[in-house]
Amino acid sequence: MKFLHLLSAEASHGITLHCLNDPPHGSAGPGLQENGTLRFRGWNKQMFEKDTVLEPHVLQDECKIQDGSWHQSRFFFHTQDSRQLPIVDVQEFPTSQPNGQQHLEIGPVCFL
């Protein structure tokens, strides 16, 4: 990984949260839970979270829909400091509702 970081000027990474009857962000809006913020930890331990310089881009936020179908929330990370990616941990991940399900899909990291 260190070799990729040394040769790259920027990087991007996509993560998709799939959910069934389970809003991961609470009622406060995309990226937020009722008790705090959904946070992503990068390779160099920096945190990507809402209302910071390293805020993830929320491309899609359909997990608030509870209609018995699968939906998804998509997050995109892009940085000029390639050492910040890939995302290695999701913190304050919401607990699933009794009739809900959720799983993460970790996309490839692109080093440029």
* pTM for this entry: 0.82
The reply to whether 72 falls in a domain is yes
pLDDT confidence of 37, banded at 50, 70, 90?
low
pLDDT of residue 68: 86
- Domain that includes residue 17, residue range: 2-22+38-111
102: domain CATH number is: 2.60.120.1000
The reply to whether 28 falls in a domain is no
pLDDT of residue 54: 92
Please state, rounded to an integer, the average pLDDT across all residues of the chain: 85
Strand partners for 45:
none
When divided into structural domains, the chain yields a total of 1
The reply to whether 46 falls in a domain is yes
pLDDT of residue 31: 44
The reply to whether 70 falls in a domain is yes
* Beta carbons of 68 and 19 less than 8 angstroms apart: no
The reply to whether 52 falls in a domain is yes
pLDDT confidence of 82, banded at 50, 70, 90?
very high
The reply to whether 29 falls in a domain is no
The reply to whether 74 falls in a domain is yes
Alpha-carbon distance 8 to 46, whole Å?
A: 18
